[in-house]
Structure 1
Amino acid sequence: MAGVPAGQSKGYTLSYDAAGRRAASERWLSNASGQSLYERSEYFYNDLNQVERRDLKSVYRQSGANSNAVAQSVSAAQLDLLNTYDERGRVLT
């Protein structure tokens, strides 16, 4: 999020690693009690640059802050996606 549109901390951000793969994304969910709640997805890759796993975390920031602001609280990671590939790189699960 480049800024905070109309004073609200709503939006969606993407970050990439040096190889150009998506490292993480954040999506605004709600505001409550002076805090903004975001859902953060973190991506993990195998040796063939295929998404092997995606974890989800809840991230709380001060209301009105953008996604560059320091998180006030971060939940433990929860497995959201797990892929298995065959020897030809085709997804099995």
Structure 2
Amino acid sequence: MASNGRTLKEWATFDIMGSAASKIVNEVVVADNQRLENKITKLTSLVRQLAIGQNHNSPPVRVCDICASIIDIPTTTSIHTTTTYAIEFLGGFGQADGHE
């Protein structure tokens, strides 16, 4: 007879169920690790693109048409005519007419 009051059938059932539960937990951990690895890969790619300046998706800002400075004045009270331009802050002001 088995020790600790358990029968042979109870020990065998526990071992089989314990192995199955352990396998399921391991599969979940592997799936979670794969998801995290994919997120890290995507983030690394984005950082590389930003570092070499390939991602120029700057939001549009309001710029004064006369002085070309960024202003924060509502259009109804502005003394200048204002228009929204998309300005690329990472290398967006290139050469014009051969001047740097």
Shared fold, TM over 0.5:
no
In which range does the TM-score fall when normalised by the shorter chain? under 0.3
Q: Which has a greater percent of strand?
A: 1
TM-score w.r.t. length of structure 1: 0.24
Give TM-score scaled by structure 2 length: 0.23
Q: Which has the higher contact order (CA 8 A, sep 6+)?
A: 1
Structure of higher CA gyration radius: 2
